[in-house]
Structure 1
Amino acid sequence: MEPGDFSIADMQSLSVEGSGLRRTPIVSKLARGPNFENSYDWTTLWYDVLAMGDRLLVVCPKLLNFKAMLADGALRIDGQPARIRRVRRFRRHDIVILDRPEGAQALSTNSGRWSGQSGISPDESGIFAGLNASLHISRNNRLEWIADWARFHIAEHGLEAMLVMDNASDEYTPQALLETLAGTGLKRAVVLKVPQRYGPVRSKSGGGGAKFLQPAMFNLARLRFLRHARAVLNVDIDELVWSRGGSIFDATHASPLGIVAFDGTWRSPLADAEPLISHADHLHPEVGVGPCPTKYCIRPDGWRRFFGWDVHRPDMWLPMGALKRADFGYWHCRAITINWKSYDRLVPRMLDEADDFTSETLTRLLPRD
């Protein structure tokens, strides 16, 4: 392990906090949950500015009424007017693409009497080049959960690298998280500090969601860090990818479309399990609960480099049903959570007997001391 193989990264962000400017809310007042005001991102103008060849890529939440601040005449690179090549508009984020002058150091904008600027982040895609990688947004997940997730996927699939976007965890430092990753057997890891608001989540009855951060971060990860990876696995820390068909990364690399999709099922521990629950306690299928949403592993190279990533599918039309493999799936571990969405995930449920395949796999890959 070389010291440079494990690193902490920052974003070059810009906020209009304190200016009196606010992003238009995209959720009607009637659909907003009780914590909408504190959760909605009112002020982030852009998350990061990425140098990529002769371009600058400005990764933003949905610009909405902030569009004028990222238009011709407002943006400046090192004090000189910026030339916009194009704006890519996605469902929950936008990317503004600029010409990059040689030696560019800073991007600035203004609105009325307010002005602001940020630096420019380097292209770090070489860190993950050729490696089997995963990406995650995490806030306060226990370090032992993250370590177990890494060890499981290293042993079962040949995972080599992780990008963890730490969303303002206050239970530990980014350095502690990085040291945890370095002790798992990974070849490379980056902890990207992401201090911005995650956004209000949807209520159980639907509506009220306005999450800009996660899809924007997935695509920043794709562009800045992961676009030269061999394959990238998109699942959360509470989701373990099982296999009856070898490595998910190998299957993805061999796939004609460069993507493998798979469904999930819930697994739970017994109600009287020890207080410090681990993935290895999640042996029991839940009775009367449907499948979990599709997740995927993708090759970021080739024609796929033109398309964005989202949580449950790439941000493009693909026949996801036809891409699903029955020899891969994931176990959604009910108690691997800090219950931050307030969806009552920890309420006891009716459980079936321990599943033999789940028990065998978890005993083999996450043996108890």
Structure 2
Amino acid sequence: MSLSDFTDKRRQPTRPPEFRGENFDRDFDSNTLFYDAVQVDKSRVALFAPPFFNLTRDIATTTFISGSGTCKARARHLDRHAQLWLDIAEHAGPIQALGDLGSFTFPVSPNYSQIFRDRRVIFTMSKDNPIEWILDWVRFNRDIHGADAVLIYDNGSSAYDAATLSAALRSVPGIDCSVVMEWPFKYGPQGANSWDHWDSDFCQLGAWEHARWRFLQHARSAMNSDIDELVLSKTGKSVFEAAEQSRTGLVRYRGRWIIGIDDGVRDDMRKAPHRHADFSILMPPDYKISQFGLRRDANECLPKWTVVPSRCPVHAQWHVHSIFSWWASYFCTRQFSFRHFREIGSNWKYQRTHRVPLDPQVHREDRALLDAFQRVDWEN
């Protein structure tokens, strides 16, 4: 639902102007009121939205009317995300909203959690990643971890359409269920650095909560992973199995970068597109003192996670690198780690593909990764 459909009001950013950067206004989502309205269960509808900011009072005074009558919305204000929960029964039809913000009507999307029931699901957001990369990511997680379902939020790809990607996913043996959810919203401006001004990138956080409630409520377990990330196990156990057998229903793990090495071949002579299995060199650690006075590896990747959705507290928020407001997400296991492939990407965020000459004193092959590669059927 877009504000421009019924009002001149727009979402105003909270970031001070001096920290916005030259493309901030272009990238900021001022127009999306909410992404989707979903029948979460038989008696409730949830609206998933960017944070309301200056629109908060207008939303609070809005009345929602369905076939079952009038109801006020219960708001949840989360990190860079907002939700409105309404007590509305299934099949109530379109919902009308009346208030200071204006008058508008919207449909309710059905709940598709049933199609992922008891599945081990990998889910991600992608934009214009080559389909072969996506299929390799699926094949790896199928053969190494036993994934049998895929959920992809496509953030406005122009290289192919959702139907083409869906058909490719359906061609992968062993994947019994796949969904491509079109998610054509602005991703949003990033923070100024690793810590400051992370306040305007709403898109992915909205998608993750949407995935949780519309698709994954009944999944056996679900892995949050990017296309350029592959999870390794130190014990041979599947990460899905580990989450399902854990005391909390969650496993969280850190990552290491896998890089390309300059082998003297010109870029225009390399085969394209390169694939995950073309890379196996670990980026060396770079130990520094953090702002909290702790020694940490600056080349280590922020954690990712796999969860049993039904065991995740209702109040918790599915976040990119953790699950907020849940004590179990404060810890990382050493039994799993993921490999983050620097050259499997479009450089949308920053330049990642500068190669350096091989230095045997610094660089080493990742034997665990190479062993995992041998267990993957990359062509089927």
Under a length normalisation based on structure 2, what TM-score does the superposition of the two structures give?
0.86
Q: Distance in 1 between matches of 2:273 and 2:103?
A: 48
Q: 2:271 aligns with which of 269, 274, 291?
A: 274
Distance 1:252 1:205 in 2: 28
Q: Could you tell me how far apart the structure 2 residues matched to 1:277 and 1:102 are?
A: 47
Provide the C-alpha distance between the structure 1 equivalents of 2:153 and 2:101, rounded to a whole number of angstroms. 34
Is 1:260 the counterpart of 2:267? The answer is: no
Alignment map for 1:141-156 (pairs within 5 Å): 141-156=129-144
Output the CA distance in 2 between the equivalents of 1:356 and 1:103: 54
Q: Which runs of 5+ in 2 are unaligned?
A: 287-298
Once residues 169 and 33 of structure 2 are traced to their aligned partners in structure 1, the CA distance between those partners, rounded to angstroms, is: 31
Residue 370 of structure 2 corresponds to: 359
Change (3 A) 1:122 1:259: same
* Residue matched to 2:296: none
The CA distance in 2 between the partners of 1:79 and 1:184, in whole Å, is: 44
2: CA distance, partners of 1:229 / 1:205: 32
Letter in 1 for 2:184: P
Q: 1:302 to 1:354 in 2, by over 3 A?
A: closer
Report the alpha carbon displacement of residue 107 of structure 1 after superposing the two structures with TM: 2.4
Q: Aligned ranges for residues 82-161 of structure 1 at < 5 Å?
A: 82-84=71-73, 86-101=74-89, 103-109=91-97, 114-161=102-149
1:337 to 342, 345, 353: 345
Change (3 A) 1:284 1:366: farther
- Paired with 2:38 and 2:369, the residues of 1 have a C-alpha distance of 42
Q: CA deviation at 1:337?
A: 0.6
For the 8 Å contact 1:242–1:330, the answer to whether it is kept is: yes
Aligned CA RMSD, in angstroms, stands at 2.3
Determine if contact 2:11/2:30 at 8 Å carries over to the other structure. Answer: yes
Find the aligned partners of 1:203 and 1:335 in 2 and give their Cα distance.
23
1:244 and 2:252 aligned: no
What is residue 313 of structure 2 aligned with on the other side?
304
Aligned length: 353
Residue 303 of structure 1: how far off its partner (Å) = 5.3
Q: 1:347 to 1:278 in 2, by over 3 A?
A: same
- Equivalent residue for 1:212? 202
In the other structure, the counterpart of 1:17 is 4
The 1:205/1:274 distance shift into structure 2, 3 A limit, reads same
1:314 equivalent in structure 2: 323
Decide whether the 8 Å contact of 2:205 with 2:320 is kept in 1: yes
Q: Gaps (5+ residues) in structure 1?
A: 1-13
Q: Would you say 1:58 and 2:51 are equivalent positions?
A: no
Q: 1:226, 1:321 → 2: CA distance?
A: 22
- C-alpha contact 2:3 2:33 (8 A) present in aligned 1: yes
**Could you tell me the percent identity over the aligned residues?**
30
- Residue 293 in structure 1 maps to residue 302 in structure 2: yes
1:348 partnered with 2:345: no
Residues 76, 256 of structure 1: alpha-carbon distance in 2 compared, 3 angstrom cutoff: same
Structure 1 residue aligned with 2:291: none
TM superposition shift of 1:25: 0.3
